[in-house]
Amino acid sequence: MDASSSLVQPLLGWGQEHGTSLAPDVEIYQDPITGLSFRALQNIPPRTKLVICSFQTTLSYLNTTYLSPYFQSHSPPFPPNFVNSLKVHDPNIIGHFFLVQQYLLGTKSFWWHYIRLLPQPDTPEALGLPVWWPEADLEFLNGTNAEPPIKKRKALWEAEWKQGISLLATDFEDREKYTYHLYQWAASIFGSRSFRASLTIPPELISGSQNSFKDSLFILEHIMKDRFSVLLPVMDIGNHNGINQVDWSRDSSTGHFSLSNRELIAQGNQIYNFYGDKSNSELLVAYGFILPGTKRDTVNLRLTPSSEVVQLRRSQTSHVVDFNQPEQEFMFSVRILNDAARHGSGIPQLDMFSPGLVNTMSCMLANNRERRFLLTNPAYSLEKDPEVFSNPMSRNIIFVLRILQDKLNYEISRIEQCGVDLRKPQTQNQHTALEYRNRQVQVLQTAIPPISTILQSAFSYSSFCQHARHSANQSEDSLVSLHSHVELLSLDCAFGWLYKHYPDVTSKVSQLISEDQDEPLPLDWAILVEDWDHTYWTVWIYLVWMLWIHSKIEFETRHVDLAKWVFAMNKSYDDALSSHADAANLHADSTEQETIDFMVQNIAEIPDLVTFPLHQDATERLRNFASFVASEEVLPASCQMMTGSQAGEILEQKLLCISKVGHATRVQEEGSWTTFLSSLTA
């Protein structure tokens, strides 16, 4: 169909009669790819009004409100009960039924010249929308971001139709013709061709109407919150290429909505509208196409925080909720960056992720100490902090990166698994879906390496470790801040550090572990970390504090960085005790408690420590403290074993996060825990 078509010319004639028109140098033509389109007949200078659409020709819910001369019904009214029941919360349903009515009116409809140019209900595949694709084509979208919203649309439209049809009186003319199929068609037309009411309708046309004040108020609210959309005949022919080179303007004095160009349009070029900064997922679901290049390729990442986490996240000033889309509060995305410019102020590895994702994950993974920090500092934003490794959230950001890496890998696996049985594409829909599917995987794969680089560095280096592979200098500039301020220790390395500085004590402790676990010496930590990592982290922390208490000045002089962490943990435990009564309890199950108690009792008999006996109550308090730190300050990691039967292999285990930021000397505190420690003398 071209501009001389017997259908296009009557549309333009009807539009002209009612104030809707094209600029003289704009034509409508049939493009082999985009279908009906606008094209420049001559060079068109900037700021030309390419299309002018009169509000008299628009079609929407407003035409059922008898609001003003601009929004007339030209049709038999719907029953009052139907309109009154839906107009408060579901004006969009009224708009969909109104379009069905106009279709059923045929040549009697005021909008007939417009409606007959639309894809027709008897050929819904002409819409090109995935919601109308056959199942064989939809299979190619399984597991992708496009699958859930397509299913949601189908379910939503069916529920809307049932709600609307139940309100139409049985004696309403042609009620039986308002089928679900026609409702789907009408909803598809609105979903793929309409404009947002908030950007289209001037509020003055509502507030200055003859309607009641109450009706005007809720209609204005509907417009502001985009609870319905508006069809703009002729204007909606413009296609989308993802480049915003147009301006929209609305004029209540003339009753027109216009489309203008920002730059010169050369003769013969297609003239594009701009649907918004939409991702390829949004374009595919709503319009049935995707654009080339990776700029618009995004993958959604939904989080499901607990109610407690939601409360914490909402306390942060960086959190923004779109009350028009509350279900999107914890929906985020990842994308490929197409330029070298920074897109955030935090560490660059986070630039690919949409705002709020990392901050929400931070709240979800925060321990007690980190939650207190976030509550005390509501303006703090983890994802915007370039020095995140040098503050109290250093453990948290590493934990976030680890879980984020796992989530990205899971999403890749899920998409690939859902497509394992796909055959070679046979239709254009299948080719489009397969390209979209592959690009979703590409986005996820691209996001992983920058995160992995940080994690691999964090897990593979420690100045505390005595193993050559862990103590080699890290020279990459971007990782200097990480290693200068925080380190992660495995049990293997932690006991190696103990052995270097306190060989006699460590030998005795290793012998105790060997006896308790019935394992030979030297200890094979690859076996022990599988089930006993929390137990022996508790033992290690208990032992470190015993060594510190036994000779504080010597310990603080020899182990400056570790002493900073000791002071920080003491302060943190004081804060925890003041806000959480259960912090004073033992954090271990019954099996772990039996082993922990065995170790604690026998550590007291080690010759180097026997000169400093603790009362039973003091022993239990120190034990409980160690178990609390062991549960709070570790994080799961895939770390290379340094010794034992699986030396060189990567094993999942818990690493202790040691921050080297803080005071190099003790600070006088007045909390119950630090007061207790001060009472202990060697």
Please name each of the domains of the chain with its CATH number. Answer: 8-286 (3.90.1410.10), 298-460 (3.90.1420), 468-679 (no CATH)
pLDDT of res. 609: 83
Contact 158, 93 (CB under 8 A): no
Q: For residue 487, give the H/E element and its range.
A: strand 486-489
Averaged pLDDT of the chain: 92
21 closest CA partner among 48, 54, 65: 54
Average pLDDT over residues 177-188: 98
Model confidence at 338: pLDDT above 80: no
How far apart are the C-alpha atoms of 332 and 182, rounded to whole Å?
Answer: 34
22 Ramachandran zone, left/alpha/beta (phi>0; psi -120 to 50): beta
pTM of the model: 0.89
pLDDT of residue 340: 64
pLDDT of residue 5 exceeding 70, the answer is: no
> What is the C-alpha to C-alpha distance for residues 385 and 348, in angstroms, rounded to an integer?
10
Give the pLDDT band of residue 682 (cuts 50, 70, 90). Answer: very low
> What is the per-residue pLDDT for 610?
75
SS3 letters across 606-624: CHHHHCCCCCHHHHHHHHH
Q: Mind listing the pLDDT tens digit for each residue in 571-596?
A: 999 999 998 889 999 999 999 999 99
Would you place residue 663 in the very low, low, confident or very high pLDDT band (cuts 50, 70, 90)? low
- Could you give the CA distance from residue 203 to residue 7 in angstroms, rounded to a whole number? 34
**pLDDT > 90? residue 281:** yes
